[in-house]
Amino acid sequence: MTDYQLSTQAVHAGEERRKPYGAVTTPIVQTSTYTFQDTGEILDFMRRKAGGATSVRDEYGRYSNPTQTAAERKLASLEGGEQALLFASGMSAITTTLAALLSAGDHLVLVSDCYHRTREFALSFLGRWGIETTLVCPGQPGVFEEAVRPNTRLIFGETPTNPYLRVLDLAEMVRVARPRGILTMVDSTFATPVNLRPLSMGIDLVVHSATKYLAGHNDLLAGVVIGARRLLAPVEHARGVMGGVSNANDAYLLIRGLKTLELRIGRQNENGMRVAQFLEAQPAVRRVHYPGLPSHPDHGLARELLTGYGGVVSFEIDGAFEETGRFVDLLRLPYIGPTLGGVESIVEQPAALFSLDPAERNEAGLVDNLVRYALGIENAEDLIADLHQALTQLQVGEASR
Ligand SMILES: Cc1ncc(COP(=O)(O)O)c(C=O)c1O
């Protein structure tokens, strides 16, 4: 399937051409286990497995499932990786991968502007298990070089980052890591394989919260890690032990969502750019964080690395915590909530959902007046008209106070 363009792979890759009953869709194999004809079949299976054969057959639901396997093959094809492993959530993919690859005494370099649960897992859980983490700020020259130590095992970054949309210099990450035998991993949730292909740039492993753009419909949780089979062998083993596996229903929905990935991301890239440009021209907006705008600190890097700038626009309202909440409430089209990447637009004030304590928000680098707007696939004119009415009402409200 790798000879085909991404949109063709999205429709066909990973799925059997000839499916049961001649069905056009991959079936949901709703089973917890897989049976054997007799003991002879079990022993034959065990011998082939011991001989190193991969994907001999399904054995038990915590290890594999045919619907999940089809989703994994499609995801591996889209990212250009040898193998993909599907998990119950993005966090399950991240935590299982880190737990599988790191041991006590190892050192992790983590980009600080990342999903806060990833940071929490590294700092508190891995810390307790004897794995030290150094947080580095994206965008500062030489940060990876300065942070690595003789015991560094992995450099892990997110790009574009959440919520400030910083873009990582992946070539720099690889340049520092490779000669030292350090692994590199990128959380590419915000980019998707439509906008960025980290493996083709020399990154070893790519993870996604498939809950977001990959599934695309705000109706399931899933996570995936993609890379070379030899690197993923311990991760697959850890998934079987720790049990954060996906399920056939979600895998089916993920396969369905992936078929329209390129169409959806194309529209979301377009909506992101249109909305960011609109917002930058508004006096009631203090600052817009969008890598497609020349005002973004990583615009140069984004132009070089990304084929689209994505569907998330973060911006700062000219006001404090309360006015920002009022602005969010004045929007009529997006739902208010803590996710992104689906066909429905979703908006949030990150500070409001993060913590009621201003000191904690400050420590996490979250300004009170920040809005994270995850654009869906609605019409850009409608989204802009909605933003316009909310900003106008906000200004009228403030003037009459
Ligand atoms: C960039 C990023 N990575 C990972 C996650 C975790 O994914 P999940 O919610 O599927 O566990 C999120 C969730 O918001 C995220 O935004």
pLDDT above 90 covers what percent of the chain? Answer: 91
Say whether domain 262-399 belongs to CATH 3.90.1150.10.
yes
The neighbouring-strand residues paired with 184 are 155
Domain spans in the chain, listed from the N-terminal domain onward: 6-29+65-259, 262-399
Query: How far is the C-alpha of 350 from the C-alpha of 333, rounded, in Å?
Result: 18
Pocket of ligand 1 contains residue 211 by CB under 6 Å: yes
Is the CB–ligand 1 distance for residue 162 below 6 Å?
Answer: yes
Catalytic residues: 62, 115, 187, 212
Ranking 29-33, 341-345, 352-356, 381-385 by mean pLDDT, the lowest is 352-356
Span 340-354, average pLDDT? 95
Question: Would the CB of 158 count as within 6 Å of ligand 1?
Answer: yes
- Which residue from 91, 188, 221 has its CB within 8 A of the most atoms of ligand 1, so it is best to mutate? 91
Which ligand 1 atom is the nearest neighbour of the CA of 190?
1
Residue closest by Cα to atom 10 of ligand 1: 90
- Label residue 399 by pLDDT band (50, 70, 90): confident
Establish whether residue 77 lines the binding site of ligand 1, counting it when its CB lies within 6 angstroms of any ligand atom: no
Query: Separation of 137 CA from ligand 1 center, angstroms?
Result: 19
User: Cβ(115) to ligand 1 under 6 A?
Assistant: yes
pLDDT of residue 67: 98
Q: Model confidence at 400, in pLDDT bands (50, 70, 90)? A: confident
CA of 90 to the centre of ligand 1 (A): 5
Q: What is the pLDDT of residue 360?
A: 86
pLDDT of 401 over the 80 cut:
no
Q: Which pLDDT belongs to residue 361?
A: 85
Mean pLDDT of 106-130: 96
**Residue with CA nearest ligand 1 atom 15:** 115
pLDDT at 2: 73
Residue 375 pLDDT > 80? yes
- For ligand 1, whether the C-beta of 221 sits within 6 Å is yes
The answer, yes or no, to whether residue 398 has pLDDT greater than 80, is no
Distance separating alpha carbons of residues 215 and 11, to the nearest angstrom: 13
For ligand 1, whether the C-beta of 91 sits within 6 Å is yes
Nearest atom in ligand 1 to 158's CA? 1
Contacts of 332 (CB under 8 A, 6+ apart): 386, 389, 390
Number of the ligand 1 atom closest to the C-alpha atom of 223: 10
46 CA distance to ligand 1 middle (Å): 36
Query: What was the pLDDT predicted at 136?
Result: 95
pLDDT (tens digit per residue) in 189-238: 999 999 999 999 999 999 999 999 999 999 999 999 999 999 999 999 99
Q: Is residue 19 predicted with pLDDT exceeding 90? A: yes
Query: 153 φ, ψ to 5°?
Result: -105, -30
Q: Supply the CATH classification number for the domain 6-29+65-259.
A: 3.40.640.10
pLDDT band, residue 45 (cuts 50/70/90):
very high
Question: Can you give the pLDDT at residue 105?
Answer: 98
Q: Is the pLDDT of residue 1 over 80?
A: no
Q: What is the mean pLDDT of residues 379-397?
A: 95
**CA distances in angstroms from 247 to 55, 211, 258, listed in the order given:** 17, 13, 16
- Atom 14 of ligand 1: nearest residue by CA position: 339
Residue 222 CA: nearest ligand 1 atom is 10
Report pLDDT for 240.
97
Does 187 sit in the ligand 1 pocket, CB within 6 Å?
A: yes
pLDDT at 55 over 80: no
In the reported structure, the alpha carbon of residue 273 is separated from the centroid of ligand 1 by a whole-number distance in angstroms of 23
What pLDDT is stored for residue 359 in this prediction?
A: 87
> How far does residue 162's CA lie from ligand 1's centre (Å)?
9
Q: Evaluate whether 343 touches 376 at the Cβ level (below 8 Å).
A: yes
pLDDT in tens, 313-326: 999 999 999 999 99
At 174, the pLDDT band (50, 70, 90 cuts) reads very high
Cα of 92 from ligand 1 centre, angstroms: 10
First to last CA, the chain: 61
- Considering the chain, what is the average pLDDT of its residues? 96
- Nearest residue (CA) to ligand 1, atom 6: 90
* Angstrom distance (rounded) from CA 229 to CA 215: 23
235 C-alpha to center of ligand 1: Å?
A: 18
Q: How confident is the model at residue 3 (pLDDT cuts 50, 70, 90)?
A: confident
Residue 335: per-residue pLDDT: 98
* pLDDT above 90 (res 363): no
Q: What is the pLDDT at residue 255? A: 98
pLDDT at residue 233, rounded to an integer? 96
User: Would the CB of 204 count as within 6 Å of ligand 1?
Assistant: no
| Structure confidence at residue 354 (pLDDT) | 84
Asked if 6-29+65-259 and 262-399 have one fold, the answer is no
Q: Is the per-residue pLDDT at 179 higher than 90?
A: yes
Give, for ligand 1, the residue of 185, 189, 207 to mutate: max count of ligand atoms closer than 8 Å to Cβ.
189
Q: What percent of the chain has pLDDT over 70?
A: 100
Using the mean position of ligand 1's atoms as its centre, give its distance from the Cα of residue 116 in Å.
9
Q: How high is the pLDDT of residue 262?
A: 98
